[in-house]
Amino acid sequence: MKSLVAYYSRTNITKKLAEEIAGKLNADVEEIKPKVNYQGKLGYARGGKHAIQEKIIDLEPLNYDPKDYDMVYLGAPVWAGKSANPLISYIKQNEGKFENVKFFVTAGSSGFDSTFAQLEEKVGIKPQKTLALTTKEVKKNEFDLSSFLQ
């Protein structure tokens, strides 16, 4: 099965998880890069505001087309109880191109359920599986991907 792991990561926590998933699947990896700066304290505040607004932003050019894959893994951090808006922008840019999806999200401690509900609504299909991990779990490698990847 041909898989794509598409993700956004501000602090490299989601990136670490995305690379782990892609490595186990031998999948292609699409790092979603926004043209908006979300680094630093101002970027953090801007990100929370944009997430609440579900603001669609411009992204750097993409390398892969999700419609070419049997499974697309979509990942992002939780911002203000929602998905980081670069992933929402990616989904909007690729509307109608997702056949099968799995969602993975990272957060300090909460917001997982609301983020999964938002992603399902935006993609328009129910994910085959979801994975929610805290920043601490990812940093300490306290997770098992086997059931998520099946």
Residue-wise DSSP of 87-115: HHHHHHHTTT--SSEEEEEEESS--HHHH
Instruction: Annotate 5-43 with DSSP letters as a single string.
Output: EEE--SSSHHHHHHHHHHHHHT-EEEE--BSS---HHHH
One-letter amino acid for residue 63 of the chain:
N
1 against 137, higher pLDDT: 137
Q: What is the pLDDT of residue 94?
A: 98
- Compute the average pLDDT of residues 88-110: 97
Q: What is the pLDDT of residue 29?
A: 98
Q: What is the CATH number of the domain that holds 15?
A: 3.40.50.360
- Compute the average pLDDT of residues 130-136: 98
Q: What is the pLDDT of residue 43?
A: 93
Question: What domain range includes position 22?
Answer: 3-149
Calculate ∠ Cα 15-16-19, nearest 5°: 80
Residue with tokens 């579900």: 54
| Residue 6 binned pLDDT confidence (cut-offs 50, 70, 90) | very high
Give the total number of structural domains in the chain.
1
C-alpha distance from residue 23 to each of 27, 28, 51, 79, 91 (Å): 7, 9, 29, 26, 23
- Compute the average pLDDT of residues 7-16: 97
7 bridge partner residues:
31, 75
> What percentage of residues in the chain have a pLDDT greater than 90?
99
Render pLDDT for 37-63 as a digit per residue (tens, 0 to 9).
Answer: 999 999 999 999 999 999 999 999 999
Phi/psi of residue 43, each to 5°? Answer: -65, -40
Q: What is the pLDDT of residue 133?
A: 98
Q: What is the pLDDT of residue 27?
A: 98
> What percentage of residues in the chain have a pLDDT greater than 70?
100
